[in-house]
C-alpha cells in the first residue's frame, strides 16, 4: 500500500508547501520496468520543454564500457539550453557536458560523459532568447556510471556557431585537452569544415593572448585545417579556434571551440 500526497501553496506566496490531499494506492503487482520521472522545475513547463529521450525514467545507466549518454529535448525556437554534469560531492565535471541544438533534427542534444564510476546529476538549464541573464534549472536526470573507460571521454568547450557551421574535430577526438607529443615543439588540432568556412586561432595564458604562438593553415592534401600552437612557457594554456563564412559580409572571426593545454 502506498500513499500519494499532494502539497500546495498560493502562487503569490513564499515559504513551505502544506498537505492538500492524500490518496491511498494499492499496488497488487509491480511492472517489470516501473516508470519514474526526472526532477523538474516550473520553468520546464513554463517554456514548454519536452523530453524526447530517455522516456519514462529518471535514471540513466552507463555500464560495460559506455562512455557517454545523450538526452534529447524539444524546445520552442526562442529557448536555449545549457547543461552541466555534477558528481555526488556537488563538483562540476569540467569537459563532462556538450549541449547543442541540432537543426537537422530540430531538437537539443545534451551529451554527458562521467569521468569515473559512481552517481552523477545531468543538470539542464534553460532561458528565453534574447534574455542575456542567467539560466534557470529545468530538469535533472541521474546517471549511474559503471566501468567507465580510461581515459574517460570529455568534450572541449564549444560555442553555438561550431554546430551552426557544421564543423568537425578530426584530432584530438573525444577529449577536452589538446595533445603535446613528446619532443614536439607544438600541439596540433585538426578540423574539417565546409568549403566556404575559414579558421583562425590563438593561444591564451592567464587570460592574455600570446602573440605569434599560433598558426592556422589549410592542408590541401588532407582537406583539413591544421591549427598549430606553440606555448612559450609551462602552465595551463587555452587554445581558441575562430571561424567565419567567406560569403558573410561580416569579416570578423568568432569563437567556435576551445581546448586546454597544460
Strand 237-245 and strand 224-229: the pairing is: unpaired
Neighbours of 254 (CB within 10 A): 14
Where do the structural domains in the chain lie, given as residue ranges? 35-145, 157-261
| CATH H-level, domain 35-145: superfamily | Immunoglobulins (2.60.40.10)
Cut 0.75: pTM above it = yes
The CATH code for residues 157-261 is: 2.60.40
Q: Which residue has the cell 502544506?
A: 18
| DSSP conformation letters of the chain | -EEEEEEE--TT--S--EEEEEEEE--SS--SS-----EE-HHHHHTT-EEEES-S-SEEEE-TT---EEEEEE--TTEEEEEEEEETTS-B-TT-EEEEEETTTTEEEEEE--SSSEEEEEEEEEEETT--S--EEEEEEEEEE-S--SSPP---EE-HHHHHTT-EEEES-S-SB----TT-SSEEEEEE--TTEEEEEEEEETTEEETT-EEEEEETTTTEEEEEE--SSSS-EEEEEEEEETTSS----EEEEEEEE-
> Grid coordinates standing for 34?
516501473
The 10s digit of each residue's pLDDT in 84-132 is 999 999 999 999 999 999 999 999 999 999 999 999 999 999 999 888 8
Same fold, 35-145 and 157-261: yes
Instruction: Give CA–CA dist 101/164, Å, rounded.
Output: 9
Q: What is the pLDDT of residue 185?
A: 86
Average pLDDT, the chain: 90
> Grid coordinates standing for 255?
569563437
pLDDT of 21 higher than 90: no
Q: What is the pLDDT of residue 18?
A: 58
Instruction: Give CA–CA dist 41/133, Å, rounded.
Output: 18
φ, ψ of residue 60 to 5 degrees: the values are -110, 125
End-to-end Cα spacing for the chain: 57
pLDDT band at 196 (very low <50, low <70, confident <90, very high): very high
The 10s digit of each residue's pLDDT in 132-169 is 889 999 999 999 999 999 999 999 999 999 999 999 99
Amino acid at each position: 500500500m502506498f500513499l500519494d500526497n499532494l502539497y500546495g501553496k498560493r502562487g503569490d506566496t513564499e515559504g513551505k508547501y502544506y498537505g492538500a490531499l492524500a490518496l491511498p494506492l494499492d499496488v497488487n503487482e509491480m511492472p517489470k520496468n516501473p516508470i519514474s520521472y526526472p526532477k523538474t522545475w516550473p520553468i520546464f513547463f513554463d517554456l514548454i520543454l519536452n523530453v524526447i529521450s530517455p522516456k519514462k525514467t529518471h535514471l540513466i545507466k552507463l555500464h560495460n564500457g559506455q562512455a557517454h549518454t545523450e538526452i534529447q529535448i524539444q524546445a520552442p525556437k526562442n529557448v536555449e539550453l545549457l547543461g552541466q554534469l555534477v558528481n555526488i560531492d556537488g563538483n562540476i565535471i569540467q569537459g563532462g557536458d556538450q549541449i547543442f541544438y541540432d537543426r537537422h533534427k530540430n531538437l537539443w542534444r545534451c551529451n554527458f560523459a562521467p569521468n569515473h564510476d559512481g552517481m552523477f546529476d545531468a543538470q539542464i538549464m534553460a532561458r528565453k532568447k534574447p534574455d542575456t541573464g542567467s539560466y534557470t534549472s529545468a530538469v535533472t536526470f541521474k546517471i549511474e556510471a559503471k566501468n567507465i573507460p580510461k581515459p574517460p571521454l570529455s568534450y572541449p568547450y564549444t560555442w553555438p556557431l561550431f554546430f551552426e557551421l557544421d564543423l568537425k574535430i578530426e584530432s584530438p577526438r573525444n577529449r577536452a585537452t589538446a595533445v603535446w607529443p613528446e619532443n614536439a615543439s607544438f600541439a596540433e588540432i585538426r578540423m574539417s569544415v565546409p568549403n566556404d568556412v575559414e579558421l583562425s586561432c590563438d593561444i591564451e595564458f592567464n587570460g592574455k593572448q600570446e602573440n605569434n604562438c599560433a598558426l592556422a593553415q589549410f592542408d590541401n592534401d588532407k582537406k583539413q585545417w591544421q591549427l598549430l600552437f606553440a606555448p612559450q612557457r609551462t602552465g595551463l594554456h587555452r587554445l581558441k579556434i575562430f571561424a567565419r563564412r567567406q560569403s558573410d559580409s561580416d569579416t570578423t572571426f568568432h569563437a567556435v571551440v576551445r581546448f586546454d593545454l597544460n
